């Protein structure tokens, strides 16, 4: 009886919280654009530069294209630079499936729509799997690829029944509590930035929290749970040929280990560039060093 009462109280509390707290809103109310329709989805992106060879930047898990705000202008001096939000991250439409195959199709559709030919693809963290996938699919269509703090190696997801445990109203309530917590974001960002983290002001926290308010984000993450971390095997990486590759890594990265980066670089037969000041978010801590690493393939 007590257990039943506790469940009832928690359910009523979760329902009340869901009703009183802010719900998801359309992405356009949070980010003005630009947007592009690709394969029935509205994709958000940013761009810098007006001339030079193209560079396409692909972020990692829960990263909006704003994460490239320091690197983009640097590369934009001599390149046409595009940063793409792959769903369900950033401000792109939350419309699945959220799989590696779908992401690769969206990258290619994005490039076709904007007339991007022979780009250099830069993939951070989870995005590294995307650039390796494109190198395996269409090596001759690429100028080069850069893996930034991402080894592109896959891992298994949770058992399918785990996702069934995340049901409303509890899923929505927990999601809103966690994604609205400055404490949670402050701890996560300090670890991701590394020892040279900037001051985590309210504005900086808001940059990261805002995309989580896009309608459909919580259910999208639930859909992704059984998929695990998208990626490849080291044997797959060894099959990459005919594409110049650079692997760049923050020396203080505690999210993806330096040793994992070196292993992927070895499999890809690629130079390994260590960025001493940086942690996992090397594009924000050492954009100059990362830009130099990218230029090793972008000017070819």
pLDDT band at 1 (very low <50, low <70, confident <90, very high): very low
List pLDDT tens digits, range 106-155: 999 999 999 999 999 999 999 999 999 999 999 999 999 999 999 999 98
Rounded to 10°, the helix 170-179/217-224 angle is 100
pLDDT of residue 16: 35
pLDDT of residue 143: 97
| Closest alpha carbon to 135 in 160, 158, 118 | 118
Let me know if residue 20 belongs to a domain: no
Let me know if residue 222 belongs to a domain: no
Let me know if residue 267 belongs to a domain: yes
Measured distance CA(163)–CA(226) in Å, rounded:
7
pLDDT of residue 122: 98
List pLDDT tens digits, range 215-264: 999 889 888 888 889 999 999 999 999 999 999 999 999 999 999 999 99
Measured distance CA(131)–CA(152) in Å, rounded:
9
Cα end-to-end span (Å), the chain: 71
CATH number at residue 68: 3.40.50.1820
Do the beta carbons of residue 119 and residue 146 sit within 8 Å?
Answer: no
Question: Into how many domains does the chain fold?
Answer: 1
pLDDT band at 157 (very low <50, low <70, confident <90, very high): low
Let me know if residue 168 belongs to a domain: no
Angle at 210 (CA atoms; ends 208, 214), nearest 5 degrees: 125
- 56, β-bridge pairs: 82, 121
- 46, β-bridge pairs: 83
pLDDT of residue 158: 56
Confidence check: pLDDT of 22 > 70: no
CA-to-CA separations, 288 to 13, 122, 240, 253, 291, in angstroms, rounded = 49, 15, 27, 17, 5
Question: Does residue 97 have a cis bond before it (omega within 30 degrees)?
Answer: yes
Give the pLDDT mean for 63-77: 97
Do the beta carbons of residue 230 and residue 154 sit within 8 Å?
Answer: yes
Do the beta carbons of residue 249 and residue 261 sit within 8 Å?
Answer: yes
Complete edge-to-edge strand list for the sheet that includes strand 80-84 = 35-38, 41-48, 80-84, 54-58, 120-124, 144-148, 245-250, 272-275
Q: Give percent of the chain above pLDDT 90.
A: 79
Let me know if residue 76 belongs to a domain: yes
Let me know if residue 218 belongs to a domain: no
Let me know if residue 7 belongs to a domain: no
Domain enclosing residue 267, as ranges: 31-154+229-298
Q: Which residue is it, tokens 């009183």?
A: 20
Do the beta carbons of residue 151 and residue 237 sit within 8 Å?
Answer: no
Let me know if residue 4 belongs to a domain: no
| Closest alpha carbon to 53 in 132, 142, 127 | 142
């Amino acid at each position: 009886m007590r257990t039943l009462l506790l469940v009832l109280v928690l359910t009523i509390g979760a329902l009340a919280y869901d009703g009183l707290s802010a719900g998801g809103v359309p992405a356009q109310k949070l980010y003005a654009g630009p947007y592009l329709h690709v394969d029935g989805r509205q994709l958000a992106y940013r761009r810098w530069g007006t001339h030079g060879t193209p560079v396409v930047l692909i972020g990692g898990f829960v990263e909006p294209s704003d994460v490239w705000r320091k690197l983009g202008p640097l590369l934009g001096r001599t390149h046409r630079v595009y940063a793409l939000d792959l769903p369900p991250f950033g401000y792109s439409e939350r419309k699945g499936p959220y799989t590696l195959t779908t992401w690769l199709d969206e990258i290619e559709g994005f490039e076709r729509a904007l007339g991007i030919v022979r780009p250099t693809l830069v993939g951070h963290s989870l995005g590294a799997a995307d650039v390796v996938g494109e190198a395996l699919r269409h090596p001759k269509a690429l100028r080069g690829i850069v893996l930034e703090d991402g080894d592109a190696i896959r891992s298994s997801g949770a058992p399918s029944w785990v996702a069934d445990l995340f049901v409303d109203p509890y899923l929505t309530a927990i999601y809103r509590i966690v994604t609205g917590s400055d404490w949670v974001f402050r701890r996560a960002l300090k670890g991701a930035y590394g020892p040279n983290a900037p001051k985590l002001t309210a504005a900086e926290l808001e940059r990261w929290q805002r995309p989580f308010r896009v309608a459909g984000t919580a259910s999208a993450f639930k859909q992704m749970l059984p998929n695990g971390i998208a990626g490849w095997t080291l044997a797959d990486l060894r099959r990459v040929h005919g594409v110049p590759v650079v692997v760049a890594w923050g020396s203080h990265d505690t999210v993806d280990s330096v040793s994992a980066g070196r292993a992927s670089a070895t499999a890809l037969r690629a130079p390994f560039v260590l960025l001493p000041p940086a942690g996992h978010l090397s594009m924000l801590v050492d954009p100059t060093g990362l830009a130099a690493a990218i230029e090793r393939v972008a000017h070819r």
